[in-house]
Structure 1
């Protein structure tokens, strides 16, 4: 009996301790009660709008772009006040999220800066990145149509002297903390957990198509062949224009994408010739392809320089991380569409060698088609002909 009574007393003490632990000391913490006067947004934003240069450094965009973004997302970010709490305004919700993406600061650090709760910041960022993608994607990363592909190809021809190029393709690892119950699926070749961003960009390093969330253990070629884009390419439902003459020739060729040696060689996808026993013609082709393909590397460099959340492990689960990456990509395009000159200046950014935003491994793709070989040979002959050559290309032969 004494033992039973003692057990009951211990149980009652344990339950009382649990209740105390779960009882809020404050409905709104005193630190957070002073958000309107001491929170970072409320005392810093009025000063930033008076200084255009510092505004850009803080928000990663000009005041006009930020104002438009606020208008676009306003209704979706609006929350009502309650009897117990004042809702966070849409502009402050947007500010917190942009600072998270721009700096990669932890939710806890941002919570102290903005005088918000840790969970409030996390939930706000999760909701806002989803809104950014949903509202911006239709206008700033629309599904390409025939006319869009033609415009992209014109850009590659004019800027990089590569005809009929519909885009440059590559992949990057985005490092994560270890996802729950992930096993080795997200464990990449560098010994980290990651998801993969596969992207195609135009001649001005704006993203045309992205595919986010593939397992970090996969290679470029494997991710590509599992992607929705590849399925549409194979089924010829991308609305690519019909094959046409290569400029100033009578040679008919299809529109193509350019990638590195990890990708398969297909009728509409070019990769370099293998490095063994390269003839001068093949070396020139590889050089010309590399010039066009470099735009996707520039795009990734600008992306991670602007949104530094990509340069450190993202401490959220996979679905949330996927939404974060998608938001950075569509914001990249949003700013590019409104501030092309400023983005152009950033085009020489190189990827930080210490960054966690790392290339996918270049495991040579084994798949190729006879049509792919034929198209590559056509382009090689064009690049080494008087019509298609550029005077500096022979420098690669020295």
Structure 2
């Protein structure tokens, strides 16, 4: 069953006591907007007021239908488009970061939203292991982030301060190479779903539903349509960004892990160009 059919059936079953007006039924398909952008809230970034005039429904009604449709998109597509990673999938992701960003044991990059609880048990992260060409200490798999967030066992951030040693600057450069992918990802996402080009002006729960719906739709579109060059135009982050600096304090245990990465980049896994990039 196609996603449009799934949503339509669910919508009808949950509104069986109401007569579904024609204008409401027309709202479900344009909201999906996988290939067409005309008149779609997520793809074009139009406001609720514009939808109010275009479809001749109240703003509150438009808001209700959009939010409900976003929830349905997530319910029916999340398992297919964003399945929960297994340990094997995490290791595959880590290999991709090692190959493309030269950062070992990296499981991804996060930015923009504070993650309250990053539990390795809930995420089923791989167990700590040796870094390539090393067999002295087992290092945890980590997610990289910028200076706006704290340092923890499974989360790495840049060193803070201005007068950093060469080793610390090299580590910050290498971390930035891995972290740039989250900037690229959001840039590509927002170019496809232009709702992110403006303030959402909705409740927090509604905003979360919009983000989740756009994420699964985007993954589906990338599978169906493949890579499109115009989607990546004017996206920052594909090239090496300036090395981030921060002045916040870090936890001692996580600091030891970061120091190990710094030594590793300085003495073992040396990129031929890394010194010239930080001078």
TM bucket (normalised to shorter chain) is 0.7 to 0.9
Matches within 5 A, 1:48-59: none
Instruction: Please name the residue that 1:280 is paired with.
Output: 166
Higher relative contact order (CA 8 A, sep 6+): 2
CA distance in 1 between counterparts of 2:265 and 2:198 reads: 41
C-alpha contact (below 8 Å) 2:159/2:246 kept by paired residues: no
Instruction: Specify whether residues 276 and 330 from structure 1 end up closer, same or farther in structure 2 by C-alpha distance, changes over 3 A only.
Output: same
CA distance in 2 between counterparts of 1:161 and 1:363 reads: 22
Tell me the alpha carbon deviations over residues 327-362 of structure 1, each in whole angstroms, 9 at most, x when there is no partner: 2222233333444423796276139xxxxxxxxxx9
Instruction: Please name the residue that 1:160 is paired with.
Output: 101
Q: Residue 315 of structure 1: CA displacement?
A: 3.4
CA distance in 2 between counterparts of 1:338 and 1:390 reads: 37
Q: Secondary structure at the match of 1:341?
A: coil
Q: Residue 116 of structure 1: CA displacement?
A: 3.9
Instruction: Please name the residue that 1:186 is paired with.
Output: none
Tell me the alpha carbon deviations over residues 273-310 of structure 1, each in whole angstroms, 9 at most, x when there is no partner: 11332111111111000000011111121222222222
Instruction: Please name the residue that 1:369 is paired with.
Output: 252
CA distance in 1 between counterparts of 2:226 and 2:251 reads: 37
Instruction: Please name the residue that 1:51 is paired with.
Output: none
2:4 aligned with 1:70:
yes
Instruction: Specify whether residues 344 and 392 from structure 1 end up closer, same or farther in structure 2 by C-alpha distance, changes over 3 A only.
Output: farther
Instruction: Specify whether residues 281 and 73 from structure 1 end up closer, same or farther in structure 2 by C-alpha distance, changes over 3 A only.
Output: same
Instruction: Specify whether residues 369 and 136 from structure 1 end up closer, same or farther in structure 2 by C-alpha distance, changes over 3 A only.
Output: farther
Instruction: Specify whether residues 240 and 285 from structure 1 end up closer, same or farther in structure 2 by C-alpha distance, changes over 3 A only.
Output: same
2:209 aligned with 1:323:
yes
How many equivalent pairs are there? 262
Tell me the alpha carbon deviations over residues 131-186 of structure 1, each in whole angstroms, 9 at most, x when there is no partner: 11111222222222212211110110111111110111111xxxxxxxxxxxxxxx
CA distance in 2 between counterparts of 1:269 and 1:263 reads: 9
Instruction: Specify whether residues 317 and 282 from structure 1 end up closer, same or farther in structure 2 by C-alpha distance, changes over 3 A only.
Output: closer
CA-based RMSD of the aligned residues comes to: 3.0
Structure 1: tracts of 5 or more residues without a match: 1-66, 172-197, 199-222, 352-361
Instruction: Please name the residue that 1:264 is paired with.
Output: 150
Instruction: Specify whether residues 84 and 326 from structure 1 end up closer, same or farther in structure 2 by C-alpha distance, changes over 3 A only.
Output: closer
Q: Secondary structure at the match of 2:110?
A: strand
CA distance in 2 between counterparts of 1:71 and 1:301 reads: 31
Which of the two has higher C-alpha Rg? 1
Q: Secondary structure at the match of 2:46?
A: coil
Instruction: Please name the residue that 2:128 is paired with.
Output: 243
2:273 aligned with 1:396:
no
Q: Secondary structure at the match of 2:104?
A: coil
Instruction: Please name the residue that 2:48 is paired with.
Output: 107
Q: Secondary structure at the match of 1:244?
A: coil
Q: Secondary structure at the match of 1:94?
A: helix
Instruction: Specify whether residues 96 and 326 from structure 1 end up closer, same or farther in structure 2 by C-alpha distance, changes over 3 A only.
Output: closer
Q: Secondary structure at the match of 2:111?
A: strand
Instruction: Please name the residue that 1:125 is paired with.
Output: 66
Instruction: Please name the residue that 1:297 is paired with.
Output: 183
C-alpha contact (below 8 Å) 1:164/1:246 kept by paired residues: yes
Instruction: Specify whether residues 83 and 69 from structure 1 end up closer, same or farther in structure 2 by C-alpha distance, changes over 3 A only.
Output: closer
CA distance in 1 between counterparts of 2:144 and 2:22 reads: 52
CA distance in 2 between counterparts of 1:86 and 1:139 reads: 30
Instruction: Specify whether residues 286 and 83 from structure 1 end up closer, same or farther in structure 2 by C-alpha distance, changes over 3 A only.
Output: closer
**Which of the pair is proportionally richer in strand?**
1
Q: Which among 10, 21, 30 is matched to residue 95 of structure 1? A: 30
2:27 aligned with 1:146:
no
